[in-house]
Amino acid sequence: MRSAYKDAGYTYTINRLQETAKTFRNLGDAYGQTSEKESGWGRQLILVADILEECVSMNLNAKIPDRQLYKQLEKKSIAMGIMVKDIRLLDGKRREILVTAKTFMRGCVSERVLRGIVSDVFGVKFFSNQDNRVIINEEPNQYVFYQEDRFRILTGMARKCKESESTSGDNFLMKRLGCGKMVAAIADGCGSGKRAFAESRMVIELMENCIEAGFEEKTAIDLINSAYIAGTSLSNPVTMDMSVIDCQAGVINCIKLGAVSTFIKRDNWVEIIKSTTLPMGVLDQVDYDCTTKKLYDGDYIIMISDGVLDNLSGVNKEEQLVDIINNINDRKPATIAKRILEASLESHNMEAFDDCTVMVLGVFDTYVNL
């Protein structure tokens, strides 16, 4: 009887989500038929409808694993004092396992034990969702496990405020997503100090919230730009530099709004990814460049704010930074970021002309040594 109630509640929730998505889409169509200004709101409503429909689709596509695997998982879990049920499998670019588990005897078992069983049964390594409880006890709880990525990303950062300022106008985001992607972003507020910090922080926090909610990166940028412009007429432009790495395919999408170049170090040469777009908050219709590149084992992605280049003298500042990067032989991203920042400051008597942020992401293929 309890299962029937639960299934009814699940169906009710899915139906409500579908109806809500339909309502947003109809509202978006209605706004789109009015003035040009309000058609922007129409686009945002339709984008929200797309996200809701995607959530519904993911839930409907969740399936029960093969009976033999299901039984094997149950048997191995019982041997460790864990009772599992409601096992669901999502097969996208990588597997995602949802398991409801509890102990059937008094006491607790580490969540790592269940993760090990899941990895053993399905033949690939899994890692835990950050929201999973660290222990399993007598209270049933859902645990989510993601298939480990092929490409492992290590990160490092170095920062320095503009001289005479105590607050940096740069904000950053580094986040590993459950869908198998890594997102790194730098938002640079106009000028420096507390106001620039507040404006860039608002943009980066909105970006993090949208990504956590499941919005596709370009969709999130469109939403944030509209919200930023509508928020206040006094807002200054904010540059956004975002790299999205598919950790299964080893592909990076560089999305730029008024940001300086990104550098990819490969063996003994460095590739420059440039942009000519305007910052966020300038145009109602967001303008951005998106460049896609294949990544390989040992590549390093170097993202910077404009202050790092401003410290360098001469005209060809990007080429100077390429020489600096090529002369660094360290393999740790944190050390590379520190060395780049130090070299930049040395060109300006160890003083920062503007807020400086250096973010380095090292890409390592776990299949190379198999």
Q: Which of 147, 173, 193 is the last residue of a domain?
A: 147
Contact between 237 and 281 (Cβ < 8 Å): yes
Contact between 248 and 285 (Cβ < 8 Å): no
Q: Measured in Å, how far apart are the chain's first and last C-alpha atoms?
A: 49
Contact between 297 and 364 (Cβ < 8 Å): yes
Contact between 286 and 257 (Cβ < 8 Å): yes
217 with 361, same domain: the answer is yes
Contact between 11 and 1 (Cβ < 8 Å): no
CATH number, residue 72:
3.30.70
Q: Tokens 């950790």, residue?
A: 247
Query: Around 187, how many Cα atoms within 13 Å sit in the side-chain half-sphere?
Result: 27
**Which residues, other chains included, contact 185 with Cβ-Cβ below 8 Å and sequence gap of 6+?**
172, 173, 204, 207, 240, 241, 242, 243
73 with 57, same domain: the answer is no
Q: Which of 98, 119, 147 is the last residue of a domain?
A: 147
Q: pLDDT band for position 102 (50/70/90)?
A: very high
Q: How many structural domains comprise the chain? A: 3
Answer whether residue 370 is part of any domain: no
221 with 346, same domain: the answer is yes
Of 25-34, 118-127, 182-191, give the lowest mean pLDDT range. 25-34
43 with 178, same domain: the answer is no
**The pLDDT of residue 10:** 54
Calculate mean pLDDT across residues 73-80: 93
- What is the value of pTM for the model shown? 0.76
187 with 267, same domain: the answer is yes
Query: Rounded CA gap, 273 and 241, in Å?
Result: 11
143 with 167, same domain: the answer is no
**The pLDDT of residue 218:** 79
Query: Around 143, how many Cα atoms within 13 Å sit in the side-chain half-sphere?
Result: 28
Answer whether residue 50 is part of any domain: yes
Query: Rounded CA gap, 233 and 255, in Å?
Result: 25
**pLDDT(221) > 70:** yes
**pLDDT over 90 for what percent of the chain?**
41
Calculate mean pLDDT across residues 178-204: 85
Q: pLDDT band for position 12 (50/70/90)?
A: low
143 with 157, same domain: the answer is no
97 with 220, same domain: the answer is no
Please state the separation of Cα 100 from the chain's center in Å.
27
Q: Which carries the bigger pLDDT value, residue 201 or residue 48?
A: 201
41 with 104, same domain: the answer is no
User: Residues 55, 56, 59, 62: what is their CA dihedral angle, to the nearest 10 degrees?
Assistant: -100
Calculate mean pLDDT across residues 222-228: 77
Query: Rounded CA gap, 64 and 87, in Å?
Result: 6
Calculate mean pLDDT across residues 198-205: 87
Residue 234 belongs to domain spanning: 151-365
> Which helix (H) or strand (E) is 221 found in, with range?
helix 217-231
Contact between 285 and 223 (Cβ < 8 Å): no
Give 322-366 pLDDT, tens digit per residue: 999 999 999 999 999 999 999 999 988 888 888 899 999 999 998
Q: pLDDT band for position 4 (50/70/90)?
A: very low
Answer whether residue 39 is part of any domain: yes
**pLDDT(237) > 80:** yes
CATH number, residue 212:
3.60.40.10
117 with 168, same domain: the answer is no
